[in-house]
Chain A
Amino acid sequence: MLRMLKPNAIILHKTRPQVGQEIQACIGCNECILACPAVAEPITIDMLNRETLSGSISAPIARFARACYQCGACVAPCPVGLHRDAMMLWLKVRLLSMGAEE
């Protein structure tokens, strides 16, 4: 029982289902990428969204995920109020897990 007292860290970001839901709400307007200081090559939202959720991660998206430093600049411009930073975090988690497996 006591184990439950262990602080289970603060929930800083969205959970996976929430990220999935956010991606479905994404209208693909590209505002987040326009605001992002880290993106260095053309990235399309369709690829980014798709690969954040599942499947293999292509090289440009992986580079972008590594470049993202969670600055949060992408959140304010989103017209739908989505959290690209949280999505990127999940992409990173996936990237790490995939890398670990290879």
Chain B
Amino acid sequence: MNNESDKKIVPGQQKGKPTHDQADIVIIGNGIAGLTAAVEARRLAPEKRIVIVTDQIHPTINTPALKQFAIAKLTREQLLAYPAGTERAERIHVVSSRVTEIHAQSKYVTLSNKRGFGYESLLIATGSTPQGLPENIPGRNFDGVLTLHRLQDYLDLRRRLGEVNEAIVIGGGVHAIETVMGLLYWGIRTHWLIRGKTFMGRVLDDPASEIVLNNVRRAGAIVHLETEVAGIIGRVGAVAGAITNQQEMIPCQIVLSCTGTRAATSLARSCTVPMMHKNGIMVDDKLRTSVRGIYAAGDVAALKNPQTGNYEPRAQWYAAVAQGRIAGSMMVGHSELAMQPFGVPWHATHLGELSMLTVGEPISSDPRLTTLTDTSQGGYRRMSILEDRLVGYLSLGSSQPDSLAIKRLIDEAVSIKDVTRSLLKGQFDSRSYLSNQRSHAARNMLLLNQPAAPLKREEATPTRKLPNTGELRQVAAQSQTNYVAASHPNHQLNEPQTDQLAPMAVMPFDIDEINPFSGNLPDVSFSGLDGTGLYSQGKFMQPRPGPATPPPMQPQPRSGLINGRTEQKATPNKKEASYKLWAYVNAEPEDNTGRRQNIHEGERY
């Protein structure tokens, strides 16, 4: 993440007068979204000139791992998100500078060192800036008052840890609690100041918040609810303690502010064409901003939450990676790879012994939702259900459920009728669930001589709606009609919906994927190794023969797919394997013979 507070201006590579260069793709910020976009664009467009402009002084790092780094579980080298030298290997030109202005009509950006770059497409991936302590707090400049956000902040913290006995952590979110746990790990007496009455009031309900807080208290933290810092006192320039709004004096040697971040939208303001932004730069689901040719991704981008309809940034790692990939494909004109909806917000973390997972809208107060809670096994789970579909899931407990599978249940609006109980008890096993679904489907086909029941009743159009708290009725009605259709024996409803709703741009979810344990290992060659369907880097800049990308995804009869599998099993040879692999990528509707020949990429993993 690259923030405005990084005001390090590295001397320009070019001396003297303003110069102008031209690049096809200019990316502002070398956080994970920026670099992922660059790598993705390079993969799809080997010949384009890609430039990253950044004022961050270090390569792209795994920012969520910074908390492990802070407590010395990681070395600095282990923080790298991409292997060192990726930029050079991918011929991504990195310019150390800061973009000062975007000239959207004439398509160029000006840099702080008077250099300029013309662009075809521009990606704003400037990340977020920490809010920090309010400006008016006395003593906020004492040595030892840190705002934890960047690598430099964590380096600073790590150096100080040895001489700290007592610490104050300010903030009411995940970042704060993770910091608290890190300090406790070091045996530091930690005071945690939360402004609100509960922990993460918007995501957790009261019992959940209580479980989390008790867990932290048990771990040794001193939790101060409804408390803010009124002033920081120092001794000879360094922090000695803090005074709270409860008139309490807490002695400490370090004050850590983890009060949340704001999208770094200043570039949206210094764009010559007005760019819509509020909490972040507003983008559509293809990450286009309101200005043509300009995209935004990562923490700075505000996407529409499919459930609430609000535009909000998703300051999360996984979202940033996914957005980077989509922005990368959009910028080189592969909009067909950007079909994947981002789905619902999702956060999973460990809080000491406790695993916390929130997916979607677990605490929505919409009256049409059914809420189930469960407190067995010392954990806490809360589910919001609409009809037979999951809308939100919250889990606290000693083990982390299969978080991505649960996110998928919500994103794809799969019926959870059969798994409600196991979800509620925290024993949801996605693998057996999905294989059961499959065996049911197969049995129906054989025994009842009718199309296998579709895995989902939902319509599989790219515009398909998630259960939306604003449009619940409409969705409910839709599901009913679909249900009727599905139960009609002659209705060919068995499209592989999962295929079409590729959750990752080029990595479609498909439960029928070949599996290492399915007994039919693919007989594939690894000639190229880097299928376009992969998250791959390096060594494939040379244009490849054959289609460079999977053609647009289109529905394909499930039965055809299954036949393909069967035949493949019966006569395994390379042609079949390549057909089969393609079937999983679900590239094109096949013709009746079900054969697609001469596909090179199909042979790759």
Contacts and interface: CB of A to CB of B under 8 A. Distances in A.
Interface residues of B, number: 74
B68 interface: yes
Contacts of A21: 404, 503-504, 507, 509
B536 A11 contact: no
Nearest to B585: A17
A17 B400 contact: no
B180 to A, nearest CB: 15
Interface string A65-101: 0000000000011111111000001101110011001
Interface in B450-470: none
Given A18-B404, A53-B536, A97 B524 contact: yes
B376 interface: no
Interface stretch (B10-18, B74-82, B102-110, B229-237): B74-82
Nearest to B351: A79
Nearest to A1: B446
Contacts of B445: 4
A101 B298 CA distance: 39
Interface in B531-576: 531, 534-539, 562, 566, 569-570
Contact of B62 (A12, A29, A53): A29
A44 B80 contact: yes
Nearest to A23: B535
B504 A10 contact: no
Interface string A1-39: 101111011111111111011111101111100100000
Contact of A20 (B63, B521, B535): B535
B516 A89 contact: yes
Contact of B521 (A50, A80, A93): A93
B517 A12 contact: yes
B535 A27 contact: no
B472 to A, nearest CB: 28
Interface stretch (B113-121, B271-279, B315-323): B315-323
A55 B404 contact: no
A89 B517 CA distance: 10
Contacts of B529: 54-56, 98
B213 interface: no
B74 A30 contact: yes
Contacts of A44: 77-78, 80, 83
Interface in B340-357: 348-350, 355, 357
Given A30-B65, A55-B539, A78-B400, A4 B566 contact: yes
B511 interface: yes
Interface string B495-509: 000000001100111
B510 A50 contact: no
B62 A24 contact: no
A81 B401 contact: yes
A76 B400 CA distance: 7
A50 B536 CA distance: 7
B378 interface: no
Contacts of A30: 65, 68, 73-74, 78
A50 B83 contact: yes
Nearest to A45: B78
Interface in B314-333: 317-318, 321-322, 325
B570 A3 contact: yes
Contacts of A45: 62, 78
A64 B86 CA distance: 22
Contact of A50 (B64, B513, B537): B537
Given A13-B431, A81-B357, A28 B402 contact: no
B518 interface: yes
A89 B521 CA distance: 13
Contacts of A20: 504, 507, 534-535
A92 B517 CA distance: 12
Nearest first, the 5 closest Cβ-Cβ pairs linking A and B are: A28-B62, A15-B513, A81-B400, A54-B536, A27-B64
8 contacts: A11-B435, A24-B321, A29-B64, A29-B73, A30-B78, A54-B529, A55-B539, A81-B404
Interface of B: 62-65, 67-68, 73-74, 77-83, 317-318, 321-322, 325, 348-350, 355, 357, 399-404, 431-432, 434-435, 438, 442, 445-446, 503-504, 507-511, 513-519, 521-522, 524-527, 529-531, 534-539, 562, 566, 569-570, 584, 605
